[in-house]
Structure 1
Amino acid sequence: MFAISLGDGAELCPLEPWQAEEFLAHLDRGREYIGRHVGLTDIVTDLDSARAWLQSYADRAAADTGRLYGIRLDELLVGGVMFRVFDANMGNCEAGCWLEPAAAGRGLVTRAARVLIDWAFHERDMHRVEWLVSTENTASINVAKRLGMTHEGTHRENFRYRDVRQSTEVWSVLAAEWRSAPEKG
């Protein structure tokens, strides 16, 4: 399997259905932490649901409508990044992420997201990458800032998560901005 080095013993690699056991174990290690802002932990609760969720992204990759990659630290799966939405015809996509607590604070998501965004703009000629994030998710908002994204606004109480109305910040970067900006950490 290929892997792209993120430095400091970390790498970005495909995350596929045959890795469902490892994926479930990873989510179990970080279930409470990840689940504060990401519904993935409510969807993936056992091996069958892990396999089905990973298969849904394999299907999206085959249809060119989404992508999913794992973040490994010293060969252990600790998180992931994805294109939750990938619309090549419109040139728009939405990136997302999650990370277990033991790996937080190392810049892994920022570095992994940078690889995805570079690929979207340079290889796929996308026009816009969005980052949608709960107003309560400071860590993810900080990733958007480090990536040089622009805060476009906030959808107030637009999403019900665990029976609580959440607000969503919309961040984005356009291809021309990405190509002309100095690399940010």
Structure 2
Amino acid sequence: MAWLELREGGWDRGAAATFAVLGAADGALLGAVRLSWADRADGLAMIGCWTLPAVRGRSVATRATRAVTSWAFETADARRIEIAHATGNEASCRVAHRCGYLPEGTLRDSHRYGDGAYHDEHLHALLAADPEPADIAA
């Protein structure tokens, strides 16, 4: 868990909290969810997640994102959380929708991905006052 250990001081610095997503049966690392503060004083955060290819399609990212979202609203004083993902990333779009994050638009040339080019991203957001989604695992 060296990857996670490198991130454990983020919360103390007021920057981010990274959570490992572990398998219930064996404790194996399945992925991670990170809540980053865009403006902590204003309660504005961003959330991102990844999962190993072997567990995709099993609602692991949805359940983990929902858990960290709830924690952020109930414990960390977040008032608005955003998810931004590459426009072609349909899996991340589904996670956002299943977790109740509403689509807000497209951010043009928003983020530089591993290929070195800037890509458009879809922006989704959820407010602390928004209702819980009916079924997060759908």
TM tier, smaller:
0.7 to 0.9
Aligned-partner residue type, residue 143 of structure 1: V
User: Per residue, is there more helix in 1 or in 2?
Assistant: 1
Q: 1:124 offset after TM fit, Å?
A: 2.3
TM-score by length of 1: 0.66
Partners of 2:121 and 2:17 lie apart in 1 by: 22
Superposed counterparts of 1:7-26, under 5 Å: 19-20=1-2
Structure of greater Rg: 1
Aligned residues: percent identity?
32
1:64 corresponds to: 14
Q: Say whether residues 1:123 and 2:70 are aligned partners.
A: no
Q: Shift in Å at residue 115 of structure 1?
A: 1.0
Structure-to-structure mapping, 1:42-53, within 5 angstroms: 50=3
Amino acid at match of 1:166: H
Query: CA shift at 1:86, angstroms?
Result: 5.6
Write the letter of the residue equivalent to 2:116: D
The alignment status of 1:184 with 2:135, answered yes or no, reads: yes
Secondary structure of the corresponding residue to residue 94 of structure 2:
helix
Runs of 4+ in 1 over 4 A off after TM superposition: none
Say what the alpha-carbon RMSD is for the aligned residues.
1.7
Deviation digits for residues 77-131 of structure 1 (CA, Å, limit 9, x no counterpart) = 1211111336431111101001111010110111111111111111223110110
Q: 2:40 aligns with which of 72, 88, 92?
A: 88
Stretches of structure 2 that go unaligned for 5 or more consecutive residues are none
Whether the aligned pair in 2 keeps the contact of 1:69 and 1:82 (CA below 8 Å) is yes
Q: How many residues align?
A: 133
Take 2:18 and 2:28, find their aligned partners in 1: how far apart are those partners? 16
In the TM superposition, residue 158 of structure 1 has moved relative to its aligned partner by 2.6
Superposition TM-score, scaled by structure 2 size? 0.87
Query: Are residues 1:158 and 2:110 paired?
Result: yes
